[in-house]
Structure 1
Amino acid sequence: MLIRSSRTAQLLLLLVCFIWGVEFVLIDLAIEEIPTHTFNAIRFLLAGLSLIPLLWFNRQQLVNIRWLPLCGASALLGFLLFVSFYTQTEGMHYTSVSNAGFITGLNVPLVPLLGFLLFRIKASAAVWIGMVIATAGLYLLTVGDNLEFNRGDTLILTCAFGFAIHILLTGRFVDSLPVMPLSILQLLAVALYSSIAAWISPEPAFYHSGATPLSWQDLATNPLIISAVLITGLLGTAYAYWAQSACQQILASHQVALIFATEPVFACLSAWLFLNEQLGTLGLVGAGMIIAAMLISELGDRRGRVTLEPLDQSTSVSPKP
């Protein structure tokens, strides 16, 4: 698939955020029945394998491939995703959904901050203003006056740092490495790391301690687990990280981070639609602030415009410096 405009890239990433927001409830239900490492191992294995057929449409990316840099980058990006998804999921056992949403959303301001600290990437004043507004909007949307810091919050803060660094590094790697192989290998790396973690964990691999013992056959016939794995693996993971890598060849890292700030907006909307949860006045104000932050950053940052040419991309979402 050729992505020729920043507008198309932004729409693809908004779709990613919509999928992530809607699938949140499904994942929350699934991990009540299956341990986090096992769920992530199955999810990312399915995601990686499902992208392999797309290599046929990107055969030119396999010519003169530099395997050592590709495998090294994939292993590093995969490790960041492994840590981020594990800490986020585990943190949900100890903290509220509101705290989790806000703290995960901190990867939005962390991207330009870490980009400056680690790589001396400078952003315009409009970008920093957008980041501040987006952070305040995330707070109003997901937390309000009830922010309390506990063990789960610490885990999810680790997740936010992991996602932010992943966005920054993806933006650097996609400039020199083939996107589709990079996407596939990093997803398979997460599956490998999760499998190893499940294997060495003292906890049972297929069920939680104290629960009724289950086998992999039991999981394979559980409608909830099957639905969660298929939706999160194919849409929330395979498509999402294909889109991220592909779009980061056009968009800057801070732009991607701001688009990702819409994930809690979609999560709140889906909760209102499917679970009859009310967004509330503060939530509506926060959602509006996030939209405004995206517009301020996009319209005010003219410095980073690039000449667009046909691309043969295919992988994860991270903006270019």
Structure 2
Amino acid sequence: MTITSPRIATVMLLFVSLVWGVEFVLIDLAIARIPTHTFNAIRFALAALSLLPLLWFSAKNEAPLAYNKLIPAGLLLGFLLFIGFYTQTEGLRFTSVSNAGFITGLNVPLVPLLGLFIFRKAVSRPVWIGVCTATIGLYLLTMGDNLAFNYGDVLVLICAFAFATHIVLTGRLVDSLPIIPLSIVQLVAVAVYSTFAALADPNPAFYFPEATPIAWHEQLFNPIVLLAVLIAGVFGTAYAFWAQSASQKLLESHKVALIFAAEPIFAHISAWLFLDETLGEKGMIGAGLIISGMLISELADRQRPAKVRPLEHSAAPD
């Protein structure tokens, strides 16, 4: 399969934002029933298993893997995901969904900043205008008049830095490493990190200290937990990070961050459809600003020639 234009990559990432927006409330319900580390361990293990068929189908076209580069890169990216998903999920216990949505969205301005500081990669002025426009839109969409910070917000801010760093480093690594093996290694790494964290935690792995002890299979097969694990594991994790890695062969890191800023828009749309919640005037303006930020950034780079590369980059690095 081949990505023929950045437009296809953009559609792929918009679907990721859609899944993340829809699953947000479901995960919030699940972590009220199962500890964060345990949920993430199961979620990422399922995600890694979901990608194994793709690895098998693409194996005949792949050159020998350079494990000395693939494994360290996957472990590093996996550690960033582990930190990001733990702090975001745990932060939801102490802060509102609106605060978490806005602060996580701060990875939009953080991506070009970190790209500049880490790799000395500058972006154009119109891109900065688009990034700032989308950030203002994120605030109006998710926060409104609320500007109260707490411990949970600090955790989610760490998550924003972790996700931004992950996007920046992925953009650098995908040009020299095969997509599917890199995705599987980092997903397995998150599952392993989360498992060790769950075992090291003094609290029980499958129920909260204040809850009645139950067997692990009773906890795992709770309908809400099971649904959250399946949707988040297969679509929100396996597909999401495979699509991100594949699309970053065609899209700059700041564009990926801007597309992911659409997540709260989809979250509000799903809340409107299923929970009869209204967006409000400020929310409508915020959504419009996020979309405007994407368009400003896209138009700024319109004159650049598109990079057309295979979706499966199987050549081993030099």
Interval of TM-score (by shorter of Structure 1 and Structure 2): over 0.9
Is contact 2:6-2:306 (8 Å) kept?
Answer: no
Residue equivalent to 1:312: 312
How far apart, in 2, do the equivalents of 1:52 and 1:258 lie?
A: 29
Question: Following the alignment from structure 2 to structure 1, what is the Cα–Cα distance between the partners of residues 307 and 270?
Answer: 37
In 2 relative to 1, CA 313–3 (structure 1 residues): closer, same or farther, beyond 3 Å? farther
Q: State the Cα deviation string for residues 248-281 of structure 1 (Å, max 9, x = none).
A: 1111101101000000100111111111111100
* 1:318 aligned partner: none
Partner Cα separation in structure 2 for residue 115 and residue 65 of structure 1: 27
CA distance in 1, matches of 2:304, 2:171: 14
8 Å Cα contact 1:137-1:286 kept in structure 2? yes
Would the aligned equivalents of 2:42 and 2:229 in 1 still touch at CA under 8 Å? yes
What displacement does 1:50 show?
A: 1.0
Code of the aligned partner of 1:283: G
Aligned length: 314
After superposition, where does 1:45-124 map in structure 2 within 5 Å? 45-59=45-59, 62-124=62-124
Q: Does 1:32 align with 2:37?
A: no
Distance (whole Å) between structure 2 residues aligned to residue 52 and residue 195 of structure 1: 20
CA distance in 2, matches of 1:61, 1:304: 30
For 2:23, the equivalent position in structure 1 comes to 23
* C-alpha distance after superposition, 1:163-183 (max 9, x if no partner): 000000001110111110000
| Alpha-carbon contact 1:4-1:311 (below 8 Å) kept | no
Which residue number corresponds to residue 287 of structure 2?
287
**Partner residue in 2 for 1:296:** 296
Letter of the structure 1 residue corresponding to residue 214 of structure 2: L
Alignment-derived partner of residue 177 in structure 1: 177
Structure 1 match to 2:142: 142
Matched AA of 2:254: H
Are 1:171 and 1:253, in contact at CA under 8 Å, matched by a contact in 2?
A: yes
Q: For the residues of structure 1 that align with 2:288 and 2:245, how far apart are their CA atoms?
A: 27
For 1:72-118, what per-residue CA distance to the aligned partner results, in whole angstroms no more than 9, with x for missing partners?
Answer: 00000000000000000111111111111110000001000111111
Q: Which runs of 5+ in 2 are unaligned?
A: none
Letter matched to residue 150 of structure 1: N
- The match for 1:213 is 213
The more displaced of 182-191 and 89-98 is 89-98
**Residue in 2 that maps onto 1:195:** 195
Determine the structure 1 residue equivalent to 2:8. 8
* Cα shift at 1:303: 6.1
Equivalent residue letter for 2:262: T
Contact 1:100 1:153 in 2 (8 A): yes
Which residue is equivalent to 2:227?
A: 227
**Structure 1 gap ranges (5+):** 315-321
Structure 1 residue 62, shift from structure 2 partner: 4.2
Cα 1:161–1:52 shift into 2, 3 Å: same
Please give the secondary structure, in 2, of the residue aligned with 1:250.
coil
Partner Cα distance (2:232, 2:82) in 1: 15
Q: Which residue does 2:168 correspond to in 1?
A: 168
Aligned-CA RMSD value: 1.3
Q: Does 1:158 align with 2:158?
A: yes
Q: Confirm or deny: 8 A CA contact 2:140 2:282 kept in the other structure.
A: yes
Could you say if the C-alpha distance between residues 235 and 284 of structure 1 is closer, same or farther in structure 2, counting changes exceeding 3 Å? same
Moved more, 56-65 or 275-284: 56-65
TM-score between the two structures when normalised by the length of structure 2 = 0.96
Q: 1:313 and 1:25 mapped to 2: Cα distance? A: 35
Instruction: Go from structure 1 to structure 2 and tell me whether the alpha carbon gap of 1:54 and 1:282 turns closer, same or farther (over 3 Å shift).
Output: same
Letter in 2 for 1:7: R
**Counterparts of 1:33 and 1:211, CA distance in 2:** 9
Q: Distance in 2 between matches of 1:256 and 1:230?
A: 25
**Cα pair 1:61 1:178 within 8 Å, conserved:** no
In structure 2, relative to structure 1, the CA distance for the partners of 1:60 and 1:125 (3 Å cut) is: farther
C-alpha distance in 2 between matches for 1:310 and 1:146? 45
